[in-house]
Amino acid sequence: MKLLNLDFNSDLKKQIKDNVCFETLQKLKLPNKSIEEFKRFDLNDIYETPYNLNYTSYSSIDPFEYLKMEGFYYIFISNSQFLPQHSCITEDVTFCQHQKNHNPSNNALYYLSETFLEQQNQINIIASLDKPLLIVNLFKSDNSFVPTSLNINMGNRCKADVVELFLSQNSGECFLNINRVINLKHKATLNYTKLEKFTSLDTTIFNFNSNLRKESNLNIVNLDYHAKKSLNLWDFYLKEENISLKIDGIVNIDKNRQGANIANIVHEAKNISSQFNIQHILHDESKGLFEVKSTINKNAQYAKVIQSSKTTLLSDDARINAQPRLQIYTDELEARHSATTGAIDQEQLYYLKSRGIPHKKAIEMIIESFESTILNKIDNDLIKEFVKSFKGKSDVQRVF
Amino acid sequence: MLDIKNLHVNINDKDILKSLNLNIKPGEIHALMGVNGAGKSTLVKAISAHYDCTVNSGSITYKTKDLLKLDTAQRALEGIFMSFQNPVEIPGVNNMYFLKTALNEKRKHNNQEELNAASFLKLIRKKMSQFNLDEKILKRNLNEGFSGGEKKRNELLQLLVLEPDLLLLDEIDSGLDIDAIKTVAAGINSLLDGKRSILMITHYDRMLELIKPDFVHILSEGKIVKTGDHNLALELEKTGFEGLGVKK
């Protein structure tokens, strides 16, 4: 099977050959077809599609001026290039490009971007932020493979609210392989929200990796709505005491879109808390995948581990494959996992309609109610309002 | 206002209403009484197009319209309001947002201008202060964690805001203490303008003292078997259903 059917030009081929990229690619153990079909999440087309490596720079970011939000610090990144002239930050935030520094990962797709990128983008937060930081990622390419990478580094005891927005104006079928590494030092707290508006032809793979130090807190709210295929691969190796990791997410997709969360969370020290909670709302022929494995090793006493997948199927043809898994090698812990699947509650729908609210609007209200349970996990009111207003502007019209 | 003829309704393939006839004129108050399982709730559910109910035959005409051709929301927009025996909880849907959405849908249906947030708040505060309703329930999610009494007060609030023409009250007195019953009854009576009609289900004469019915019907085995005025309810209170010759 081809790994990636990239349409390399001769210079690039030479460059890749010089960098031994092909060899590295050959060594990658990417998920194979039979595994993906079993999961009802077929990645095969990204191996077969003839992508190129051509990207267009934005001549102007005027259409995105509205994102220079009052009350926020902001950084704009276009096709992996920082746009310093469009950024507004405090001296406690720096951004730069750095030499590659490989984070160990079990995820082959993480190394895929690393293979193609010469440098890594880094944002450093060295003191607590008085305002939320908005990171706007703009993509513009045509039938391309787009590797990108960003490390967010936070200093000791820092606290920050960060919202990262992904906006795509790609044309044709594009495959965005996006690496995110979050490094939190001692007692740092990062509240991170990810929001996207990809095109209906984009395939996106987010490879999350982290290095969390003692007593740090990472709270993630992940919102997936638009991409044709969106896969989040979460790889967390929690090796220091008193770490708190919370991931709450929404997968609200329609048509034949696919949304997946695959997580591998290893607990290696005492008093670690990890929560992984995804709300799926699946319309039409969409497919969801929730595959979360939490391993609590012998040294990870007093861990608190929660996995939860809640799914509402809005069509007979929508599918969910939920596999919450716990591997426990210690006696002293609290752990629970759950996976529920159902349709819209008919009595709730009837109640709203009995007050004159039309069927379509009533369903929207119930779906919004599911979403609000996740959106309410966002602590920062400015970010919460930003997410709601952005969602309102960009929501796809769904047909019931 | 409402004319039901020869109505046959089943739920899960079980015949519940069997050839039921009922006529309610504008301004009339009808009380429906009967043993458990007689079909009282099924009747109000059938009038408001509950998904459980299948109408096998018969007709329901409402203000000259064939009601059976309208869906639940359309019936509500035409002025039919069913007060639920057990109002459902919808976590995540804010009560004020729900009320404003419902009112604006109705205004849109009636070709009236929709209310903005400020105008709506002014209107609802006025309605709530008239009946000593606590504004806190506006900020909460729809019926979520409400006590039985709070749920019924919320039903009353919806009634006051939506001002329907036909009120279907399914045991609106259940779970309420005597003071709350008085508040709910006062709210309902305030809507009576000689044109609005009520069909109410109750097991107790106490509610009928507060909302005086023009007609009392006794339902048994899916049919109305006796009709009278308020005295029929008083007689029922004394003798019970068996005393009136109604099958249990």
For residue A361, list chain B residues with Cβ-Cβ distance below 8 A. 101, 105
Q: According to the model, what pLDDT value does residue A26 have?
A: 61
Positive or negative, the Cα torsion across B169, B172, B173, B179?
negative
A364 interface with B at CB cutoff 8 Å: no
Which chain B residue has the Cα nearest residue A365?
A: B93
The residues in A 318-347 lying below 8 A from B, measured between CB atoms, are 345-347
The reported pLDDT for the residue numbered B161 is 94
Q: What is the pLDDT of residues A214-225, one digit of tens each?
A: 999 999 999 988
Q: How confident is the model at residue A106 (pLDDT cuts 50, 70, 90)?
A: confident
Chain A residues within an 8 Å CB radius of B92: 368-373
pLDDT tens digit string along A331-388? 999 999 999 999 999 999 999 999 999 999 999 999 989 888 899 999 999 999 999 8
CB atoms under 10 Å from CB of A83, counted, come to 15
Q: What residues contact A365, with CB distance under 8 A and at least 6 apart?
A: A352, A357, B90, B93, B98, B101
Chain A CA closest to residue B163: A355
% of residues, chain A, pLDDT over 70: 87
Say if CB B38 and CB B222 are below 8 A apart.
Answer: yes
Where is average pLDDT lowest: A99-108, A135-144, A211-220? A99-108
Pairing of strands A159-168, A145-154: unpaired
Checking if the pLDDT of A243 tops 70, the result is yes
Is the pLDDT higher at B230 or at A72?
A: A72
Q: Please state, in angstroms and as integers, the Cα–Cα distance from residue A196 to each residue in A222, A253, A395, following that order.
A: 9, 12, 11
The least confident of A37-51, A74-88, B125-139, B140-154 is: A37-51
pLDDT tens string A165-187: 999 888 888 899 999 999 999 99
Predicted TM-score (pTM) above 0.90: no
Cα separation, A124 vs A151, in Å, equals: 8
Contacts of B77 in chain A (CB under 8 A): 356
Residue B33: CB atoms within 10 Å? 27
Which of residues B154 and A391 earns the better pLDDT score?
B154
Q: Is pLDDT at A2 greater than 70 in this prediction?
A: no
User: Residue A39: its pLDDT value, please?
Assistant: 67
* Calpha distance B214→B29 (Å, rounded): 5
Please, are residues A220 and A195 in contact by the beta-carbon 8 Å criterion? no
Angle between helices B95-109 and A359-375 (to 10 degrees): 160
How far apart, in whole angstroms, are the C-alpha atoms of residue A285 and residue A147?
29
pLDDT (0 to 100) of residue A23: 60
CA atoms within a 13 Å half-sphere pointing along the CA-CB vector of A249: 31
What percentage of chain B reaches a pLDDT higher than 90? 67
Output the average pLDDT for chain A: 87
Buried b / exposed e across A204-236, counting CB within 10 Å, b at 16+?
A: bbbbbbbbbbebbbbbbbbbbbbbbbbbbbbbb
Domains detected in chain B: 2-243 (3.40.50.300)
Residue B75 to residue B91: CA distance in whole angstroms: 25
What percent of chain A has a predicted confidence (pLDDT) above 90?
63
What is the model's pLDDT at position A400?
26
Taking contacts as CB-CB distances below 8 angstroms, the residues of chain B near A365 are 90, 93, 98, 101
- B82, B90, B106 member nearest A354 (Cβ): B82
β-pairing verdict for A119-125 and A93-99: antiparallel
* Residue B178 forms contact with A (CB below 8 Å): no
The whole-number pLDDT of residue B202 equals 85
d(Cα B201, Cα B40) in Å, to the nearest integer?
7
Confidence check: pLDDT of A33 > 70: no
CA distances from B101 to A364, B136, B199 (A): 12, 18, 26
Encoding tokens for residue B118? 């400020």
Which of B87, B91, B102 is the closest to A356 by Cβ?
A: B102
| Cβ-count burial A354-374 (b if 16+ within 10 Å, e if not) | bbbbbeebbbbbbbbbbbbeb
- Cβ of A357 within 8 Å of Cβ of B102? The answer is yes
Query: Is B45 an 8 Å CB contact of chain A?
Result: no
Q: What is the structure's pLDDT at A398?
A: 34
Residue A353's CB is within 10 A of a number of other CB atoms, namely: 23
Whether chain A has a CB inside 8 Å of the CB on B120: the answer is: no
Whether residue B104 contacts residue A384, with contact meaning beta carbons closer than 8 Å, is answered with no
Between the alpha carbon of residue B48 and those of residues B11, B53, B153, the distances in Å are 14, 10, 21
* Chain B: residue whose CA lies nearest to A370: B92
- Calculate the CA A224 to chain-centre distance: 8
The pLDDT value given to residue A395: 45
Interface of A with B in 124-183 (CB under 8 A): none
Q: Which residues of B touch A355 (CB under 8 A)?
A: 76, 81, 98, 102, 158, 162
Q: Given an 8 Å threshold on Cβ–Cβ distance, is A348 in contact with B162?
A: no
Identify the pLDDT of residue A397.
34
A22 burial type by CB count under 10 A (0-12 exposed, 13-18 middle, 19+ buried): middle
Contact (Cβ atoms closer than 8 angstroms) between residue B213 and residue B200: yes
pLDDT of residue B203: 79
Q: Which stretches of chain B drop beneath a pLDDT of 70?
A: 247-248
Of B92, B109, B158, the CB nearest to A355: B158
CA gyration radius, chain B: 18
* pLDDT of A149: 93
Q: Which two tokens stand for residue B188?
A: 């309902």
Tell me the shortest Cα–Cα distance from A265 to chain B, in angstroms. Answer: 30
Strand extents, DSSP E, A174-214? 175-184, 189-197, 203-212
CA distances from B119 to A207, A353, B114, B126 (A): 48, 23, 10, 11
Of B76, B88, B102, the CB nearest to A348: B88
